[in-house]
Chains A and B, each alone.
Chain A
Amino acid sequence: MSEPVLRLVGISKRFPGVLANDNVDFELAPGEIHALLGENGAGKTTLMNVVYGLYKQDEGQIFIDGRQVEIHDPNDALARGIGMVHQHFMLVPVMTVTENMMLGHETTRGLRLGLLSDLDPDRVAEEIKALGDKHGLSIDPEAYVRDLSVGEEQRVEIVKALYRGAEVLILDEPTAVLTPQEAEDLFSIMRSLIAEGKSIIFITHKLKEVLVIADRITVLRDGRVVGTTEPSKTTEAELAAMMVGREVILQVEKGPAAPGEAVLEVQDLQVRDLREQMAIRGVSFTVRAGEIFGIAGVQGNGQAELVEALTGLTPVEGGHIFMNGQETTHLRPRAITETGIAHVPEDRHKHGLVLVYPLDENLVLQTYYLPPFAKRTFLQPKEVRENAIRLIQEFDVRTPSVRTHAGSLSGGNQQKVIVARELSRDIRLLIANQPTRGLDVGSIEFIHRRIVEKRDEGVGVLLVSSELDEILGLSDRIAVMYAGEILAVMPAEEATKERLGLLMAGVREAPDSIAAD
């Protein structure tokens, strides 16, 4: 193999409390499409932001064409031939395509008068047109960006990178916002680019695409490289296992479930995400009292939207939700909570806690307005405090005092605070989204045991997790979500890692399914 155009050696990047990249090695050969595969939060984007000069690595070296370089900012990266197309486009909507190209790279004509020089949009427009035609990237240089479709905006971003002289192109989750047809177009553009001798790093968590388009695949998990392979030497199932799993299944002791009546019924639910794309496309399922219903799936397949819709945080587009026999489809979060729902949210900093509040106030976040914590409109600090002392002891939260700010606890202890608050209420349904993400083994076991205890008390549990081990260890029934749909529901006994892995990759189980999808 010839000299790699880009080589990363031992890259580490720390954020407060997180090791986003841990000693990562990576190589990109000329004319290659190298896929960087991993779950959300695996460190793919962080790594590429290091390459693009948006972050500075804490350790490690970057080599371009065999020479070690320091990349201080994106201009630096561009000057060295590295261009990046971000997940969220960085274009100015009220400017034309040409004007966007010229931003920070102003082409002038006539006298050189510094800031007063005459801009030369016509020449830029011509160059854009030429570049576009060469790679099948048809774009109108005169069009305003705000009038473009998402796919067209993406093409503008790619042309922009090429116009600035990019030899290495980083595409961050480029297909996430595209329709299947647009994705096909993108793939042919990518092929045309490598035929030209460009090299592409393709960031994604979609296994199918990787197998179709990539020459090599590097899998990241928890900031570390799990391995590098080639499409011909691997399968979707193997890639899924590399992406998702520790090998050790956490064994949770639990007896057989005794399911009772339905506590949650979802009928043909449809939900849009923040980008107005359909995130949930007609999902139906039932959770019974006394069972744990697990939803497996690679993150970003609609699980977050599902949970937010169930708990009233996101509006429902279509379909029905019944909780404890009552329709809750369009109720406000408080009304839903009051039907006997507990919610352990996916993001403990965004939703689960008020980090600047002390623990005692965080522990009454859902109940501060009810007796005994409030009498009429007056808070009862003594009751709030005693509640905190009791729960901190019962759930083994390690904290100097009940007045310590939630933000100064470790992640595991923060999660215990949330679990304590949610499980201490009188509930009939527990919705737990990624309840143990980022926690140490001890905290994971503790929280798992509590969830099983609740099940045994007759609470219905909806467990959403992208950790296959967690799903397999806890669930009584398992559903797999892919692209906003539930592909299968099965009793836990019939689930294997391989079977779930394939479903998580979007491979349907019906005969001829591989061709059909």
Chain B
Amino acid sequence: MATSEARRSSRRRALLGRLAIPLLAIFTALIVASLAMVLSGTDPIKAYLALAEGAFGSQVARVETLIKATPFLLAGLAIALAFRGGLFNIGVEGQLFVGSAVTVFIGYSVELPAAIHIPLALLGGMIGGAVWAGIPGYLKARNGAHEVITTIMFNFIALRIISWAIGVGGPLRAPRTVVPETPAVFESARLPILIPDSRLHAGVIIAVIAAFVVYWLLWRTVTGFELRTVGANPNAARYAGINVEFNIVRTMALSGALAGLSGGIQVLGLAPYTFTTGFNVGLGFDSIAVAVLGSIHPFGVALAALLFGAMDAGARLMQLRTKVPIDVVTIVQGLILAFVAADQIIRRLYRIRTETEEGPVSLSQSWGGGS
């Protein structure tokens, strides 16, 4: 039928539109940031070239990009998974902390064969993150406490507990150190290095596998069907006999497990293989931008994580060459998020028609809804 052809091509256009918004958002953010550079007397083209070279120009640069992208990917997946289930998990930061602490504890307190030690330490971190996310999930399922509030509060609780634990006299504090940090994990718990004499650890592979697992979980399993249905229409989910309350807890726990894995891989993969308070601060929040830029889709999140990793990796060279402060990268990242989240700006700027069909996930749907 002619009409069915037309509709199919309109769907293809809609898919193109979904890719167009993130790409145009990145482009616009770069333009806006370059205006700031021009005002401060720098050549933005030179700066961006340095940024690109710092991210992709050499093997060291490429390795650095992948290392930086890895935690973004895992933490971004955590946020995307929760979004699919209708939940806004702002607590990835805290879950990542708890996961790292558990992983590092298993890593330094026992010595086991690597084949057991690494999985055990990572699993411990995932469970730690899952529990830390599961509690706000339970509070929402049981009492309707909004997860945005509770997860933010749990971030503070996690931060303070861990500051105490690695502070002077704390149970995780390494003996005879001046800075607050844990002991380093045993050799047997460290992730193997993929390219000799580089920092590239096997965490990259784990993160990519995680992206495929999340994709497969969401669209190929009963669990994923329930998770997405609760996220898309909790009333229909209840009508279909899905236990909405249980699913809220499960989705949060799965999201927290990914967050915990994200932190665990950092402590097992990168020297000095310890956990300190300054560890990865802000990663859990930056990952919200990664997830949103990645259209809440595992593969989109992977691309967005790569971009954010590249920007972080290239920033140093940009500063070196052009005196543009590293912070400009943060500004660009912030602008990207703003343009993706407020996509009407991009649509109006580039005259893209608003889709009449509802998008796959509305970022604000968990507000005021609940159970």
Contacts and interface: CB of A to CB of B under 8 A. Distances in A.
A189 interface: no
Given A354-B233, A400-B3, A407-B357, A379 B222 contact: yes
Contact of A356 (B3, B4, B358): B358
A353 B232 contact: no
Interface in A340-370: 343, 345, 350-357, 361, 365-366, 368-369
B239 A405 contact: no
Interface residues of A, number: 34
A334 to B, nearest CB: 3
Contact of B235 (A311, A351, A356, A400): A351
29 contacts: A313-B238, A332-B241, A332-B243, A333-B238, A333-B241, A334-B241, A334-B242, A335-B241, A350-B233, A350-B236, A351-B239, A353-B236, A354-B233, A354-B237, A356-B233, A357-B229, A365-B240, A366-B240, A366-B241, A368-B240, A369-B222, A378-B221, A378-B222, A379-B219, A379-B220, A379-B222, A400-B3, A401-B7, A407-B357
A479 B141 CA distance: 38
B225 interface: yes
Given A355-B358, A356-B232, A368-B222, A345 B7 contact: no
Given A356-B358, A378-B220, 6 more contacts: A350-B233, A365-B239, A369-B225, A377-B221, A400-B8, A405-B358
B241 A354 contact: no
The 7 closest A-B pairs by CB, nearest first: A334-B241, A351-B239, A400-B4, A400-B7, A365-B240, A333-B241, A354-B233
A69 to B, nearest CB: 32
B98 to A, nearest CB: 27
B221 A379 contact: yes
User: Chain B, interface size: which category?
Assistant: 20 to 34
Nearest to B242: A334
Contacts of A333: 238-241
Contacts of A369: 222, 225
A381 B220 contact: yes
A356 B84 CA distance: 12
Given A353-B236, A366-B240, A404 B222 contact: no
B198 interface: no
B360 interface: yes
Interface of A: 311, 313, 332-335, 337-338, 343, 345, 350-357, 361, 365-366, 368-369, 374, 377-379, 381, 400-401, 404-405, 407-408
B241 A337 contact: yes
Contacts of A350: 233, 235-236
Interface in B39-60: none
A383 B243 CA distance: 24
Contacts of A404: 7
A289 B8 CA distance: 44
B223 interface: yes
Contacts of B7: 400-401, 404
Nearest to B5: A400
B14 to A, nearest CB: 10
B7, B235, B240, B357 interface centre (most CB from chain A within 10 Å)? B240
A261 to B, nearest CB: 25
Contacts of B237: 354
Interface in B314-371: 357-360
Nearest to B6: A400
Contacts of A338: 241
Contacts of B235: 350-351
